[in-house]
């Protein structure tokens, strides 16, 4: 894929526009999110909201949405939210609690929020709901910032603060 000049489309000094540029860059290289028909609905600094339709093939032997599909949606929202500030960030660990089942034909929404950031380590909470606003799952992710930038060609400060 040809490298895009995001500075032509976004004001990378504006935190909201930087978050949007980061989401666009991530989505371009994320075939899983695309294949599962996830949509990035909204992003902001430390925040991402994604939706995913529960397709027939995503159901399990109980005729409900497979937990792995719900996890993938929450994990993608986690990834988008923790990469919104042009710091490449990966998962260090996560957990999920399934509260209610998703069903064939549902549209699930994952809303990911940065709860805490100190140095390279962050904590993000993700809430997954169905189209009725019913709670499906709660996901908590721990993130770790790595060197570099999300937006190719930017001269973002790649020094990382010390911390846990």
Q: Which pLDDT tens digit goes with each residue over 1-57?
A: 345 788 889 999 999 999 999 999 999 999 999 999 999 999 999 999 999 999 999
H or E segment to which residue 28 belongs: helix 15-28
Q: What percent of the chain has pLDDT over 90?
A: 87
Q: How confident is the model at residue 163 (pLDDT cuts 50, 70, 90)?
A: very low
Mean pLDDT of 115-144: 98
pLDDT of residue 160: 47
**What number is the average pLDDT over the span 95-119?**
97
Arithmetic mean of pLDDT, 118-122: 96
Q: What's the pLDDT score for residue 3?
A: 56
| Nearest CA-CA partner of 94 in 70, 78, 117 | 78
Task: Compute the mean pLDDT over every residue in the chain, rounded to the nearest whole number.
Answer: 92
Token output for 104: 């064939």
* Beta bridge mates, 139: 96, 126
Q: Where do we find the tokens 């093939």?
A: 57
Give the pLDDT confidence of 133-150 residue by residue, as tens digits. Answer: 999 999 999 999 999 999
Q: Which residues pair with 40 in a beta bridge?
A: 50
């Amino acid at each position: 894929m040809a490298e895009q000049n995001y500075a032509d489309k976004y004001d990378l000094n504006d935190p909201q526009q930087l978050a949007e540029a980061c989401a666009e860059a991530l989505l371009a290289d994320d075939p899983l999110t695309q294949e599962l028909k996830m949509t990035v609905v909204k992003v902001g600094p430390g925040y991402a909201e994604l939706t995913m339709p529960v397709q027939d093939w995503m159901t399990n032997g109980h005729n409900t949405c497979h937990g792995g599909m719900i996890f993938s949606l929450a994990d993608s929202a986690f990834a988008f939210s923790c990469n919104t500030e042009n710091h490449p960030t990966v998962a260090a660990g996560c957990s999920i609690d399934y509260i209610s089942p998703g069903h064939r034909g549902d549209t699930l929404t994952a809303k990911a929020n940065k709860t805490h950031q100190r140095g390279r380590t962050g904590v993000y909470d993700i809430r997954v709901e169905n189209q009725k606003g019913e709670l499906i799952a709660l996901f908590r992710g721990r993130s770790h910032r790595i060197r570099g930038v999300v937006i190719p060609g930017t001269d973002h400060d790649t020094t990382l603060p010390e911390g846990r």
